[in-house]
Structure 1
Amino acid sequence: MVYLTRQEHFNAAHKLFNPKWSKEQNEAVFGVCANENWHGHNYDLFVTIKGEPNPDTGFLFDVKKLSILVKQYVIDKLDHKNLNMDVDFMKDKMCSTENLAIAIWQQLAPHLPGDVKLHCIKLYETARIYVEYFGD
């Protein structure tokens, strides 16, 4: 089994706010991340796929094609967007990094060929905070 990782980058704004809670409770739980005027992050995304190399090419999957898929189904939809308002696959979800990593997985997995599997989505919100998601 071979693992191949592609790194991408995007910028996006969001706020953490549970509409079922009062403003005070949101601020108590989410702190400055509940800011009514939003806040942003410079996200680093690592997409890891797994499988066996093709005997004719030696590739697990063409990295140019992987880059195109990640850009088409993820980066183009997230970059310089408001996650709470502009991103269809985040609609009605808490825009935490955890939920975003799961949503990115759901966006990419159906578009990989059958012999290649998504192994991990690693999403850095900051240099010191990241989430890893390995599927259901």
Structure 2
Amino acid sequence: MTGEAPELSLTRRYRFSAAHRLHAPQLTDERNREIYGKCNNPFGHGHDYVLEVTVRGRVDPRLGRLIRLDEMDRLVRGVLLDHVEHRNLNAEVEEFATVVPTTENLAEVAARRLARAWPSAFPDGPARLERVGIQETRNNIFEVSAPLAENGETDANQVT
């Protein structure tokens, strides 16, 4: 091939299971039940989540690859999956000590963790982190733009 390669995207999917309870301590029990419904069950509930990590860039002409998948998998596992797989998000994930573990917030946490680790894991790599999404149910997928996660511009933690 000649000339500069076009940019392309790659989305990699990872599956994990975790439990949580949606409950904002600053609200009354009645208001929590009204907002979160059955997800406010005092005993919690679980999901089989699908994490989507999208990277974008140009194919390395020497390797013919956008990114080494084994290295990407190692990063995703080390900074995120090992910390959420078969965990109670409320009790075992530090970011949720003071934040309601909605899937919106889980997507933001995942994006921030990956964005912080990406530059040192892939300092010379042509692929940059573009998007992180988490599918909670067949109908609900929450996505965060990676640049927003890097800059700290997202804030899904406001509950009224």
TM-score range, shorter chain: over 0.9
Backbone CA RMSD of aligned residues: 1.1
Asked if 1:14 is matched to 2:20, the reply is: yes
Between Structure 1 and Structure 2, which shows a larger proportion of strand residues?
1
Residue 131 of structure 1, CA deviation: 0.6
Residue correspondence of structure 1 range 32-111 to structure 2 within 5 A:
32-111=38-117
Q: SS of the residue aligned with 1:85?
A: helix
Whether 1:121 and 2:132 are equivalent positions in the alignment is yes
What is the deviation of 1:17? 0.6
Gaps of 5+ in 1: none
Tell me if 1:131 matches 2:137.
no
For these two proteins, the number of residue pairs brought into alignment is: 136
What SS does structure 2 have at the residue aligned with 1:37? coil
Give deviations 1:87-107, integer Å, cap 9, x for gaps: 123331111111110110111
SS at match of 1:84: helix
- Contact 1:5 1:46 (8 Å CA) reproduced: yes
What TM-score do the two structures reach when normalised by structure 1?
A: 0.94
Residues 29-48 of structure 1: CA distance to partner in whole angstroms, max 9, x if unpaired? Answer: 11111110001000011100
Contact 1:17 1:94 in 2 (8 A): yes
Q: Which has the higher contact order (CA 8 A, sep 6+)?
A: 1
Task: Please say if residues 109 and 117 of structure 1, whose CA atoms lie closer than 8 Å, have aligned partners that are also in contact.
Answer: no
- Structure of larger gyration radius: 2
Task: Give 1:123's aligned amino acid.
Answer: I
